[in-house]
Chains A and B, each alone.
Chain A
Amino acid sequence: MRKSLTIGMTAASLGALIALTGLAPAQAADPVAKLSVFHGVPGLTVDVYVNDKLTLDNFKPGDLAGPLDLPAGTYKVAITASDAADASKPAIGPVDLPLVAGMDYTAVAHLDAAGKPTATLFTNDIGKLEAGQGRLTVRHVAAAPAVDVLANGAAAITNLVNPKESVLNLPAGTISAAVAATGTTAPVIGPADVNVAEGTNTIVYAWGSLADKNLALGVQTIAGLHSNPGSIPAGEAGLVATNKPADTTGLWLGAFAAMLLALGAAAVVGLRRSAAAARR
């Protein structure tokens, strides 16, 4: 956060210079916060009110909304039954969500470990990734005890509890992901193929209820975290150069210049030698 603030201030102080030279700033600080909303409460279609204004109408379980660009600030979010006339009788909340400019968030309506509806605000990691890397975020928002996440059959994340998350940077590629009770390898969800795409934060939600046998995976992706190559050196011989010596005159002139240089060098060496000889 401090970093993006610094970038913002630098951009502001350089503003005049940039305007004069007509250069676009390489990376301006984003003045807004991004907010997505994931609905992970089974069997309950809802309306979502932000600051008492209806924002999501008939929002269904397993759906993902957004991202919304919002000015930084604190937002009051209330989740009601889908037939409510206003936000006065929320089923979840109201909760206050403090959103900071330049950050990316997902508000999740979900069950707590005991099966009671609640809401959690997660901050999404949008830090740049090395070329070839993808980011996998796993969030436990299900009515279930602690779990392990298995990637290609091996435990990649252990003892994850509701409503916590775990974040890994991995070589990009598709993994076979499964969720099991912690310390075990028998899947309660999956296995399912998850594409941990390059330059992307792939966020997987384990949601639903173990007791009601409706555990499921939801996925949200945030792309654009990649690092591009900064050059393509694609030639080394000058065989198609536009400044290639075009005719023999040039070659002869070049040869003549080289000869002059050689003569000059020889003369200097000669002088030094004679000077050295004189000193002796």
Chain B
Amino acid sequence: MRATVGAIGMLAVALVLLSGCSGAQVPPASAPTAVTTPAPASVLPPPRPAPEVTVPTVSATLSANQAPAPLPPVRIRVETLGIDMAVEAVGQTAEKVMELPKNPAVAAWYRFGPSPASPAGATVIAAHVDSLVYDIGPFARLASATAGTRVVLTLSDGSERGYSVTGLQSILKPDVPWDSVFDRSGASRLTLVTCGGEFDYEAKRYLSNVIVSADPLP
């Protein structure tokens, strides 16, 4: 209780300081200058109208304005971690759970999200870390990935894309920002997901997701 009162007191002091500072930093002379500046602009009319804003304009033809067909990844390799797995295309269940193959030696690509052919967003590949039937899977070794670890995807057209690991996070499941993991905007990138951290032996589930981020190699 005393701590709360103290915190509120400090907050009040901070607010007073903030408002005091901003008040002191505004010089009284600035108000008249702000009023006088726009006046000359409105006096001179432009000779020929020009758009005030540039509106992005594209051709609406079918060929120029459609989402590209996805290019599914079919194999993932991380040589330094001894990972070499087939990749299946999966969706999600009615309960919004990403569908993974039972076998932890087979990885899954979220087929409704970005693929390596997408101009933007995260290609998401996940695999079970272990299984009561199949034992420990290769993605268990993702926990040893470091910045610069090289990941290679083979795509359905036979081509390969190289990625370099930029980060590794272990996040408690309730705190995982799924909309960021499955982000379809921003730079084109690769996100690998498995389980890790502590295990709830009653519920038979891990408490965290291990999330590896990787950027495409040039």
A-to-B contact residues, CB < 8 Å: 37-38, 53-57, 59, 62-66, 68, 85-86, 131-132, 172, 174, 192-195, 197-200, 202, 205, 216-221, 223-224, 226-244
Q: In the complex where A234-B195, A241-B199 touch, is A55 in contact with B112 (Cβ < 8 A)?
A: no
Cβ–Cβ contact A63 & B194, under 8 A: no
Flag the segment in B17-25, B29-37, B73-81, B129-137 that touches A: B129-137
Flag the segment in B147-155, B158-166, B203-211 that touches A: B203-211
CA distance A229 to B177 in the complex (A): 11
Q: Please indicate the chain A residues that have their CB under 8 angstroms from the CB of B176 in the complex.
A: 231
CB distance from A139 to the nearest CB of B (A): 12
**B98 interfacial contact with A, CB 8 Å:** yes
The 3 closest A-B pairs by CB, nearest first: A241-B199, A235-B195, A238-B199
CA distance A216 to B59 in the complex (A): 13
Cβ–Cβ contact B130 & A230, under 8 A: no
Cβ–Cβ contact B57 & A64, under 8 A: yes
1/0 contact trace for B27-57 toward A, CB 8 Å? 0000000000000000000001111110111
**B97 interfacial contact with A, CB 8 Å:** yes
Cβ–Cβ contact B55 & A235, under 8 A: no
CB distance from A172 to the nearest CB of B (A): 7
- Max chain B C-beta neighbours (<10 A), residue from A131, A172, A221: A131
Choose one: B53, B65, B136; the contact of A220 (CB below 8 Å).
B65
CA distance A37 to B135 in the complex (A): 57
Closest Cβ neighbor of A39 among chain B residues: B60
**B168 interfacial contact with A, CB 8 Å:** no
How many of chain B's residues have a CB under 8 angstroms from any CB in A?
A: 61
CB distance from A19 to the nearest CB of B (A): 12
Choose one: A37, A64, A217, A221; the contact of B67 (CB below 8 Å).
A221
Interface residues in B186-201 (C-beta closer than 8 Å to A): 193-199, 201
CB distance from A90 to the nearest CB of B (A): 14
Cβ–Cβ contact B61 & A226, under 8 A: no
Q: Please indicate the chain B residues that have their CB under 8 angstroms from the CB of A234 in the complex.
A: 100, 126-129, 139, 193-195, 206, 209
Cβ–Cβ contact A54 & B49, under 8 A: yes
Cβ–Cβ contact A230 & B96, under 8 A: yes
CA distance A229 to B196 in the complex (A): 19
CB distance from B46 to the nearest CB of A (A): 10
Interface residues in B80-103 (C-beta closer than 8 Å to A): 91-92, 96-98, 100
Cβ–Cβ contact B132 & A229, under 8 A: no
Cβ–Cβ contact B178 & A242, under 8 A: no
Choose one: B55, B184, B194, B205; the contact of A236 (CB below 8 Å).
B205
Q: Please indicate the chain A residues that have their CB under 8 angstroms from the CB of B1 in the complex.
A: none
Closest Cβ neighbor of A205 among chain B residues: B60
Q: In the complex where A54-B50, A65-B55, A66-B56 touch, is A226 in contact with B130 (Cβ < 8 A)?
A: no
Q: Please indicate the chain A residues that have their CB under 8 angstroms from the CB of B91 in the complex.
A: 131-132
CB pairs A–B below 8 angstroms (28 shown): A53-B52, A55-B55, A56-B57, A59-B57, A62-B60, A63-B57, A63-B58, A64-B57, A85-B48, A131-B92, A131-B96, A131-B112, A205-B60, A216-B61, A220-B60, A228-B178, A229-B98, A229-B110, A232-B195, A233-B100, A234-B128, A234-B139, A235-B206, A237-B135, A237-B204, A239-B136, A240-B136, A240-B140
Choose one: B67, B139, B178; the contact of A223 (CB below 8 Å).
B67
Q: Please indicate the chain B residues that have their CB under 8 angstroms from the CB of A202 in the complex.
A: 66
Cβ–Cβ contact B61 & A85, under 8 A: no
CB distance from B63 to the nearest CB of A (A): 9
6 additional contacts, CB 8 Å, given A131-B96, A232-B98?
Answer: A194-B66, A195-B69, A219-B62, A236-B132, A238-B201, A241-B197
CA distance A199 to B112 in the complex (A): 8
Cβ–Cβ contact A194 & B67, under 8 A: no
Cβ–Cβ contact A219 & B66, under 8 A: yes
Q: In the complex where A194-B66, A195-B67, A229-B98 touch, is A238 in contact with B130 (Cβ < 8 A)?
A: yes
